[in-house]
Structure 1
Amino acid sequence: MSGIGPLEPGEGTTAQDNSYTVHLRSPGRRRAALAVRYARHRRLTLCLAALAVLLAGGGYLYGTRPRQPHPAPTPRPSPAPYPAQVVDVTYLEDLPAAAGAPPRSFRFGVLVGVDSGPPVTVTRVTQPYAGLTLSTDPAAPFRTRAGSARMITITMHVTECGKVPKDAGMPFLDVTLRNTRAIQNHSFILGPRYAQHLSQALKVACSNSVE
């Protein structure tokens, strides 16, 4: 008997085909798996984006927060002026000799004023000529307040005519001043009227001198 019948599968053919079909996923299952992965990725991306917005917003608020102004420093009180800056000594006039004054003595008045600051004390008044002595009334030390002035009577006595100038060109008084800021020695030039009266008084005092 001859003829061709149905083909028989070769050895091992059926086992190989069955194994391939077992591991092959259907299109529906692949789409479902991709959708799950996409949803997870999308949620993670949205969370990270929201966190970035929060951090950026916090940084902006911190950067734009108005800074509290620093308190202004407390101003320090101004120091008191130096006494020589606020004291003025002005020549007034020559005065008649005091009763009972020693020979070759003469006197005159000056005005001591203080413009501002704490009170100023005059601790000493002197003059530059070796042949003269000087005293004040009131006697030093005396004090003068700011905004006021007081008259001082100065008495000079010639002790040695050979040591006084015959013509005092620009005489001055040396005054020691003290306030809460400092102690200063200052020379006050009293002007041409004082120079003229002093020269005249010295000539009168020494006119009969044999020195």
Structure 2
Amino acid sequence: MSGVGPVEPGEGTHVQDVPPAPRLRRGAAARYAEEHRRAVAGAFLVVAVLAGGGSLYVTRPRSEPPPVPPYPNQVTAVEYLYPQVTDAESTPRSFTFAVEVTTESGPPVTVVRISQPYAGLSVTSSPRTPFRTKSGSPRKITLTMRVTECGKVPRNAGLPFLDVTLRNTRAMQAHSFILGPQYAQDLSRALQVACSNDSR
């Protein structure tokens, strides 16, 4: 075959007429275009809202973190009140003092332990440790001391102190509280009475 022209069907074949694509009616085309516009506008609106919300979240003013609570030894005071009267005959080597524990500010402070530096002297508290003190609520504590060995306590306690372990939400600390000259005098007197019959 030579020449230029349309291809003709061969033997046993025939041309099929392909039906034309269905045409949208004028109203259907307008509806389709309107739905397409709405879908595009809706997608754009969602993207705009997400972008705006993200921008607001990133640029929002940040609230200040709560202040860090103070260390417990910075807000706790131990004050000597007075010696307690005890029955010297029934407890010849024991004597009792009253102190006051005050938390000046911040969260509650737990008194974990109370001790003193002399090896021949033991101390217990009422209430027993651990106990809590709240800000602005002073707490009276009774300390009972017992001489366990006269050779290991001083005859004259110069600057005696209490070792107190304190804990709050920030830290746990051991701190030595010097209770002043009146406590030193009362403690020295009590030690002399407790050990007066001891030969040392």
Q: Does the alignment reach a TM-score above 0.5?
A: yes
Q: For residues 204 and 98 of structure 1, what CA distance do their matches in structure 2 show?
A: 13
AA at the equivalent of 1:181: R
The answer to whether the aligner puts 1:141 opposite 2:130 as a matched pair is yes
Deviations 1:129-176 (Å, cap 9, x if unpaired)?
A: 000000000100111111111100000000111110111000000000
Q: Can you list the C-alpha shifts for 1:168-197, whole angstroms capped at 9, x where unaligned?
A: 000000000011110000000000000000
Structure 2 segments unaligned to the other structure (5+ residues): 1-58
Paired with 2:87 and 2:115, the residues of 1 have a C-alpha distance of 20
Letter of the structure 2 residue corresponding to residue 84 of structure 1: N
Match of residue 55 from structure 1: none
Question: How many Å apart are 1:210 and its aligned residue?
Answer: 2.0
1:72 Cα deviation after fit? 4.3
Pairing 1:115–2:104 present: yes
SS of aligned partner of 2:138: strand
Long gaps (5+) in structure 1: 1-69
* Cα pair distance change 1:166/1:145, threshold 3 Å: same
How far is 1:73 from its partner?
A: 3.7
The Cα offsets for residues 47-78 of structure 1, whole Å up to 9 and x where unpaired, read as xxxxxxxxxxxxxxxxxxxxxxx654421211
SS state at 2:190 partner: helix
Q: What are the Cα deviations for residues 12-54 of structure 1, in whole angstroms up to 9, with x where unaligned?
A: xxxxxxxxxxxxxxxxxxxxxxxxxxxxxxxxxxxxxxxxxxx
The answer to whether structure 1 residue 95 and structure 2 residue 84 are counterparts is: yes
Matched residue pairs, number? 143
Q: 2:169 aligns with which of 167, 177, 180?
A: 180
User: What is the alpha-carbon distance in structure 2 between the residues aligned to residue 126 and residue 161 of structure 1?
Assistant: 17
Partner of 2:53: none
TM-score in terms of structure 2 length: 0.68
Alignment match of 2:93 (pick from 104, 119, 124): 104
In structure 1, distance between residues paired with 2:74 and 2:151 = 36
Query: Which residue number corresponds to residue 65 of structure 2?
Result: 76
Name the residue aligned to 2:43: none
Q: Percent identity?
A: 60
Q: 2:191 aligns with which of 178, 186, 202?
A: 202
Residues 87-117 of structure 1: per-residue CA shift (max 9 Å, x gap): 0000000011159853211001000000111
Please list every run of at least 4 consecutive aligned residues from structure 1 whose deviation after the TM superposition is greater than 3 angstroms. Answer: 70-73, 98-102
